């Protein structure tokens, strides 16, 4: 394990973590959203901030990066630092990258305040890209996972994690709806609100169906792609090692 790889993981892991905490603190003191969206409810703001899929996927990624940077000798060997976990997180953070940049931004617009803009770039562009690059091209101690084995034994992990989050968010949204919460804070994402007509006049359940299909396609396509890249990298490394 080179010093560059260790520094790479620690730098970007700590950067993501620092930005996440800093943006929360900034939101507390610059309380425009808390007043306008949450009616001054700091508790609900805090819960919502730390339970979006985009933030949770970033938390898992920067936790992995920091842990792998500190305990680098176990990278690719232990379950938490192994390739299955890394590939799962790479898939989830890719989903965050695509949904945020190509679904949420076109519908909701890009943040206008400077700090919000910087935070969004780091969490939704830089972190996903650097993590995917590391897992696919820099991670050590990986093993080949054949396609059939991956589909039957590995793909269910990112799918189940995403489905569990979706069920949680929708269940909470239904509870909030029955409790009379403001419409803007019922669900973390517009395509989970099956009760409201969404963009382009498409009913909520229509957007939910579109999002569900899109998410499944993204999860399967990219997790499968990353596994194929992993196999190629392992084979390439073996060939190079055997040459000398």
pLDDT by residue (tens digit) across 196-241? 998 889 999 999 999 999 999 999 999 999 999 999 998 876 444 4
Confidence at 243, pLDDT banded by 50, 70, 90 = very low
- Does the pLDDT of residue 115 top 70, yes or no? yes
Residue range of the domain that includes 44: 3-243
38, two tokens: 């949450």
**pLDDT score recorded for residue 25:** 94
pLDDT by residue (tens digit) across 24-37? 999 998 878 888 88
Residue 123 contacts residue 20 (beta carbons within 8 Å):
yes
**pLDDT score recorded for residue 39:** 85
- Does the pLDDT of residue 158 top 90, yes or no? yes
Query: Which residue shows structure tokens 């630092």?
Result: 81
Average pLDDT (83-100) is 96
Average pLDDT (2-12) is 95
In degrees to the nearest 10, what's the CA dihedral of 239, 240, 243, 244? -140
**pLDDT score recorded for residue 237:** 64
CA distances from 116 to 14, 23, 41, 193, 198 (A): 18, 8, 20, 25, 25
Rounded to two decimals, what is the model's pTM? Answer: 0.91
What are the CB-based long-range contacts (under 8 Å, 24+) for 108-111?
108/190
Structural domain count, the chain: 1
- Does the pLDDT of residue 102 top 80, yes or no? yes
- Does the pLDDT of residue 144 top 90, yes or no? no
- Does the pLDDT of residue 73 top 60, yes or no? yes
**pLDDT score recorded for residue 239:** 43
């Amino acid at each position: 394990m080179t010093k560059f790889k260790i520094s790479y993981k620690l730098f970007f892991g700590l950067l993501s973590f620092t930005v996440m905490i800093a943006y929360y603190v900034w939101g507390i003191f610059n309380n425009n959203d808390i007043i306008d969206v949450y009616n001054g409810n700091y508790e609900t703001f805090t819960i919502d901030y730390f339970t979006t899929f985009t933030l949770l996927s970033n938390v898992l990624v920067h936790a992995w990066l920091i842990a792998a940077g500190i305990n680098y000798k176990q990278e690719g060997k232990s379950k938490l630092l192994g390739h299955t976990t890394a590939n799962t997180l790479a898939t989830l953070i890719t989903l965050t990258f695509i949904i945020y940049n190509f679904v949420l931004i076109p519908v909701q617009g890009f943040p206008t305040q400077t700090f919000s803009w910087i935070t969004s770039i780091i969490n939704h562009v830089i972190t996903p890209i650097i993590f995917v690059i590391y897992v696919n091209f820099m991670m050590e101690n990986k093993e080949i996972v054949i396609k059939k084995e991956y589909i039957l034994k590995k793909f269910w992990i990112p799918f189940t994690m995403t489905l569990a989050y979706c069920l949680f968010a929708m269940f909470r949204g239904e509870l909030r709806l029955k409790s009379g919460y403001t419409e803007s804070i019922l669900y973390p994402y517009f395509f989970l609100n099956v009760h409201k007509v969404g963009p382009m006049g498409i009913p909520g359940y229509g957007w939910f169906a579109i999002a569900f299909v899109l998410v499944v396609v993204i999860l399967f396509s990219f997790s499968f792609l990353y596994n194929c890249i992993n196999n190629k990298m392992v084979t390439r490394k073996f060939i190079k090692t055997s040459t000398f």
